A and B are shown apart, each in its own frame.
Chain A
């Protein structure tokens, strides 16, 4: 079992729709969770982090964490073509390192 699992996609949504990206992790002791966006040929960019169970909202983005289910998700409301990218889920496991999922490729169609 991978430490951090994501559906590779591609996930395709129409412009204006809600995009839902999911991630599960195996280490029940994990405390910090991050979502990064990576455009093709570019480095990852931090868009959200969440530490507590529940929802955390930032603009069009909402991160959801359920530690009992070892599940973290990212919702993107009013999706725009510029949101088309690969979304990486990262979990802080041991020490200071992050463990990344393989990423979910999102395409928002105009």
Chain B
């Protein structure tokens, strides 16, 4: 149980384009989903927290207009990187938890490369 999927697993795009990443909980209802970014040899950086049906809460320094998060259902959240630039190249990972449990389960991650 507690399986989270992400799609795509990797993507290469041109600078200025937008990229959408999907995160799905396959066997539980994800009342809360989290989006992280991780640069090589660095720890996870939380970007935002989203609750189903509510607007996402972004961490300080994360541009909400650049990283659009939608959590429209209990099994799906999306992260859209708008007008991507090479500095947005990173490993993006989602995680999900089901109320009332505290454990977060991670998706396999999406590796984004912006040329």
Residue ranges of A at the interface with B (Cβ–Cβ < 8 Å): 32, 34, 36, 42-46, 49, 51, 88, 90, 92, 95-98, 100-103
Q: Using a Cβ–Cβ cut-off of 8 Å, how many residues does chain B contribute to the interface with A? A: 17
- A90–B106 Cα distance when bound, in Å, is 13
Q: Name the one of A32, A34, A96, A100 contacting B44, with C-beta atoms under 8 angstroms.
A: A100
Closest to A31 in B: B102
Q: Are B43 and A97 in contact (CB under 8 A)?
A: no
Q: Name the one of B2, B32, B102, B106 contacting A43, with C-beta atoms under 8 angstroms.
A: B106
Q: Are A43 and B107 in contact (CB under 8 A)?
A: yes
Tell me whether A32 and B102 are in contact in the complex, defined as CB-CB below 8 angstroms, given that A96-B97, A102-B43, A103-B43 are known contacts.
yes
Residues of A close to B105: CB separation below 8 A: 46
- A78–B109 Cα distance when bound, in Å, is 30
The contact string, 1 if C-beta is below 8 Å from chain A, for chain B 66-104, is 000000000000000000000000000100010000111
Q: Are B103 and A46 in contact (CB under 8 A)?
A: yes
Q: Are A92 and B108 in contact (CB under 8 A)?
A: no
Q: How far is the CB of B111 from chain A (nearest CB, A)?
A: 8
Q: Let me know if B25 is at the binding interface, CB within 8 A.
A: no
Q: Name the one of B2, B43, B49, B108 contacting A96, with C-beta atoms under 8 angstroms.
A: B49
- A92–B97 Cα distance when bound, in Å, is 12
Given A43-B107, A96-B97, A98-B104, 10 more contacts at CB 8 Å?
A: A32-B102, A34-B103, A45-B106, A46-B104, A49-B102, A49-B103, A90-B104, A95-B49, A96-B49, A98-B46
Q: Are A97 and B46 in contact (CB under 8 A)?
A: yes
Residues of A close to B43: CB separation below 8 A: 88, 100-103
Residues of A close to B104: CB separation below 8 A: 34, 46, 90, 98
